[in-house]
Amino acid sequence: MKTSVTSVEQMHQLGVQIGKALKPSDVVVLTGELAAGKTVLTQGVAFALGITGVTSPTFVISRIHKGTPNFIHIDAYRLLDSGVSSFTDLDFESYLPSSIFVIEWGAAFVSTLSDQYLDIKITQGDKESSRNLEITPIGDRWAGFKL
């Protein structure tokens, strides 16, 4: 499924729409260049879950926002060249049953956490503020997913 946004506000709202469809054990993987809108989309997802104050966890790798369910935001960028080969090393799977995960730069790691996830790739659009998103449902959990 492909969609486009033309503003930060639309990216946030798209995150809200996605967030409303999520439940515990769900995983969303975001891929895109720096400043593509990954964190803004994540903030929208969190907003739909009643969570505010979400910032990029680039330097701490992950932030756990307590709630029902928990919201775990991971930025795996620093892990790409770190020697960490999977999320198993970081024990994220123990949080899976009670949490929703959004993982930036997580394509190389997600398979150790779940084989059911929503894969979202964000690329630059025609204009500076526009972004193109390709949303790919992976696994039975996401069969028939629509925005």
State the CATH number of the domain containing residue 41: 3.40.50.300
- Domain membership of residue 52 (yes or no) is yes
Residues 39/28, Cβ–Cβ less than 8 Å: no
Q: pLDDT per residue over 84-138, tens digit each?
A: 656 666 678 888 889 999 999 888 888 888 999 999 999 998 888 899 999 999 9
What confidence tier does 83 reach under pLDDT thresholds 50, 70, 90? low
**Count of domains observed in the chain:** 1
Q: Residue 70 is encoded by which pair of tokens?
A: 């928990």
Residue 17 domain flag: yes
- Alpha-carbon distance of 132 to 47, in angstroms, equals 22
Residue 124 belongs to a domain: no
Question: Would residue 61 count as lying in a domain?
Answer: yes
Residue 111 included in any domain: yes
Q: Is residue 142 part of a domain?
A: no
Which neighbouring-strand residues pair with 117?
138
Percent helix, percent strand, percent coil in the chain, to nearest 5: 30, 30, 40
Tell me the residue type at 98. S
What's the pLDDT score for residue 84?
63
Provide the pLDDT for residue 85: 59
Say yes or no to pLDDT of 33 above 80: yes
What range does the domain containing 15 cover? 2-119
Give a yes or no: residue 50 inside a domain.
yes
